[in-house]
Amino acid sequence: MYGYLGIDVGSVSTNIVLTGEDGTVKHSIYLRTRGRPIEVVQQGLKQMQAALPGKIKVAGVGTTGSGRHLAGVIIGADIIKNEITTHAVAASNVVPGVQTILEIGGQDSKIIILRNGVVADFAMNTVCAAGTGSFLDQQASRLNIQIEDFGSLALQAAVPVRIAGRCAVFAESDMIHKQQMGYNVPDILAGLCEALVRNYLNNVGKGKEILPPVVFQGGVAANVGMKAAFEKALGFSVHVPLYYNVMGALGAAMLAREATNRKSTGFRGFDVADREFKAGGFACDGCPNICEVVEILESGQVIACWGDRCGRWSNALAHHEKIS
Amino acid sequence: MKVVYPHMGHMWICVKAMLEYLDVEVVVPPPSSKKTLLLGVKHAPEFACMPLKLNLGNFMEAAEMGADTIVMAGGCGPCRFGYYAHVEHAILRDLGYRYQLVVLEPPQKHIGELLGKIKHITGHQSWRRVINGIRFGYHKAEAVDQLEKMSHYCRPRETRAGATDRALQSALREIIAVDRPEKLPAALNNAMGMMNAVSLDKQRPVLRIGLVGEIYTLLEPFSNLDIERKLGGMGVEVDRSIYLSEWINEHLFMGLKKNKGGSKLAKQKAIKYLGHSVGGHGLETVGSTVLYAERGYDGVIQLLPFTCMPEIVAQSILPRVSTELGIPVMTLIVDEQSGEAGLVTRLEAFVDLLARRKQTGKVLA
């Protein structure tokens, strides 16, 4: 039996998904990245190998997320795609006919518009981090609330407080102000959810036509308060898929299946988890740009490098055959 | 007198050729880099656009190399570029640089104003020689543009990664080395031979994307984070809506050379969406997008520096053009805060979108 691996290395979490040939999820792993993407990918692979039924053979690997290139090099990915494509692919497979995807992750929030199953438009947050998962996380810990309880608490609100949500810094000071005025915590949390939704729709969604069915995914989709706030603002129900927090990895696995169709995989095997990888780097002094070049080393051997503007280092190592 | 002029893509090659032909000593500042931008950002007003900051950095770096006279284009109209020369000069003066400023702009009262300034730079050269010099510079611009166009074709089709870049570098060196007009045709031939030697896979399917927007960000690879090379690497054949020689022909020679392309057609196409000039290249941006849609391009990317007024006007019109003509358009705004990862993610997503759209062959709703 064949399986396909999808790996999403994000700023906050790293997700690994194994799908069967039919695209169903066999096993998924959710780990905190903790700023150590290489270690976490290796750790995740070990866990995946241990959890797999013995007969499954990996026939394709895809990576996505902000650490996609790094993970791709380490594991020998067949396809390296960014989050927008993978999320769109996953959502349209899980919810057929989806027309809008709202995606809020740790660092980025994005909106993807699909028409006839094809991405027609997309946008990402441009200026500020207000309205992403990290901000909610931070506010929850400031109020001494478990992030898991955030949503259910927000649903208990009687009158949501209006909070200025344009910018994370101002939202926080406005929240503190409302606390000192004596509002209770659920009302403030609900207000925060509404502020983020308003901010998202105005600054990310910006005039895009949001048509149902709408899929809400990314780590923040776990928050029922956010889901409720979206439904209130949009006026129709919002669908949160079962694997809302690993949709990127799921999409990567699906794309890997497409990419390896009738081709052999570049997967380097689960034993990359035991190999030694190191990231090194230096400042190139070839020109006044002083690019910081990063090298990925495997047992002392440079296997990839990037960061240079001119391509002096990265081209030297580039594949002779272009894949494109 | 040591003359310096700001960088804008490969413009330095033709201006240097022209001035040196006229025995003017030229200082070419180092290519725009992070250091250039850092210098500019430190001393320019925050809300000024990226071109001003880079210009300023160029001048400061050139001063270290002994330059003492700035030659800068001026202009009039709604875009604030018209006063950049003076603002930059004033900032440099405040910083203690002793630069002389020569602004080449359309004369207000009498053509003598412009001619006087040219004479000031070129000294006691005959007018005949001055015209020959200008022609020499122009021919170099044409040659450079031709090589760049070839590189746009080659890059997505090259079989060895980086081969086009290397060929283009050596081909450009060939053009740069020419010091007499009569040697130029042979050098161009040579250079084109180098580009033709790049091994290509002509059967490979490629996407075609048109680049529109503000001229400086289009021409200067440092300011647009090398978008042409990045797209080329993703398997996209790019076309730029403005090439240097076309712009020179239109703005400086008043369209003297016919059949050169340029913005006339684009301006006509824009009328349906934008009825009058908004300064800069706002009209051309809208018009070129229409043209790319008509020519069957897969998509259009608009480039502009943050706070560029004419392009903001165009940006607000492009969604209408996009829906009416069914061509996806993406806007990228650059300034010193631009992160490369963000740009690459957007480009990849856009290219993926176009590729999938082409594959399924479905028309957008």
Task: Kindly give the interhelix angle for B309-325 and B282-294, rounded to the nearest 10 degrees.
Answer: 20
Mean per-residue pLDDT over chain B, rounded:
88
**pLDDT at residue A310 greater than cutoff 50:** yes
CB atoms within 10 A of CB B364: 16
DSSP state for residue A35 in the 8-state scheme:
T
Q: What is the mean pLDDT of residues A287-302?
A: 83
**pLDDT at residue A320 greater than cutoff 60:** no
Closest chain A C-alpha to B177 CA, distance in angstroms: 21
* B118 or A224: which leads in pLDDT: A224
Q: In whole angstroms, what is the distance from residue B59 CA to residue B97 CA?
A: 10
The per-residue pLDDT for B358 is 82
pLDDT tens digits, one per residue of B75-113: 776 688 888 999 999 999 999 999 999 988 777 777 777
CB atoms within 10 A of CB A29: 19
Q: Which residues of A89-125 are buried (b: 16+ CB within 10 A; e: fewer)?
A: bbbbbbbeebbbbbbbbbebbbbbbbbebbbbbbbbb
The per-residue pLDDT for B151 is 95
Single-letter code of the amino acid located at A235: G
Q: What percent of chain A has a predicted confidence (pLDDT) above 90?
A: 21
Q: What is the mean pLDDT of residues A108-116?
A: 84
> Judging by DSSP bridges, how do beta strands A13-20 and A2-9 pair with one another?
antiparallel
Give the one of A83, A315, A321 whose C-beta lies nearest to B162's C-beta: A315
Asked if residue B278 lies in contact with residue B292, where contact means CB atoms within 8 angstroms, the answer is: no
Reported residue count of chain A is 324
pLDDT tens digits, one per residue of B240-275: 998 888 888 777 666 666 666 667 888 888 999 998
The per-residue pLDDT for A324 is 38
**pLDDT at residue A129 greater than cutoff 60:** no
Q: Is B352 on the interface with A (CB under 8 A)?
A: yes
B35/A290 CB distance under 8 A: yes
Q: In whole angstroms, what is the distance from residue A255 CA to residue A248 CA?
A: 11
CA dihedral B218, B221, B225, B229 (to 10 degrees): 100
**pLDDT at residue A322 greater than cutoff 50:** no
A116/B365 CB distance under 8 A: yes
Q: Which residues of A touch B (CB under 8 A)?
A: 66, 81-85, 115-122, 124, 287-290, 309, 311, 315, 318-322, 324
Closest-approach residue (CA) in chain B for A312: B162
Task: Find chain B residues with C-beta within 8 A of A119's C-beta.
Answer: 349, 352-353, 356-357
> Judging by DSSP bridges, how do beta strands B100-104 and B69-73 pair with one another?
parallel
Mean per-residue pLDDT over chain A, rounded:
85
The per-residue pLDDT for A17 is 92
* Among A57-71, A291-305, B37-51, the least confident range: A291-305
B353/A116 CB distance under 8 A: no
A311/B165 CB distance under 8 A: yes
User: Tokens 């901000």 sit at which residue?
Assistant: A135
Asked if residue A284 lies in contact with residue A291, where contact means CB atoms within 8 angstroms, the answer is: yes
The per-residue pLDDT for B186 is 94
ipTM: 0.76
Asked if residue A162 lies in contact with residue A191, where contact means CB atoms within 8 angstroms, the answer is: yes
The per-residue pLDDT for B140 is 94
The per-residue pLDDT for B252 is 67
**pLDDT at residue B136 greater than cutoff 90:** yes
The per-residue pLDDT for A57 is 86
- pLDDT interval class at A238 (50, 70, 90): very high
The per-residue pLDDT for A51 is 86
- pLDDT interval class at A128 (50, 70, 90): low
Q: In whole angstroms, what is the distance from residue B47 CA to residue A199 CA?
A: 24
CA dihedral B12, B17, B23, B25 (to 10 degrees): 20
At B130, is the secondary structure helix, strand, or coil? helix
Q: In whole angstroms, what is the distance from residue B278 CA to residue B182 CA?
A: 41
The per-residue pLDDT for B37 is 92
The per-residue pLDDT for B294 is 94
Single-letter code of the amino acid located at B157: R
Single-letter code of the amino acid located at B304: L
**pLDDT at residue B210 greater than cutoff 70:** yes
What are the beta bridge partners of residue A102?
A111, A216
Closest chain B C-alpha to A298 CA, distance in angstroms: 23
Q: Name the strands in the sheet holding A25-32, side by side, starting at the edge strand that comes first in the sequence.
A: A25-32, A13-20, A2-9, A57-64, A79-80
Of B76, B67, B61, B65, nearest to B24 (Cα)?
Answer: B67
Task: Find chain A residues with C-beta within 8 A of B226's C-beta.
Answer: 309
The per-residue pLDDT for A319 is 53
A116/B235 CB distance under 8 A: no
Q: Is B365 on the interface with A (CB under 8 A)?
A: yes
B341/A115 CB distance under 8 A: no
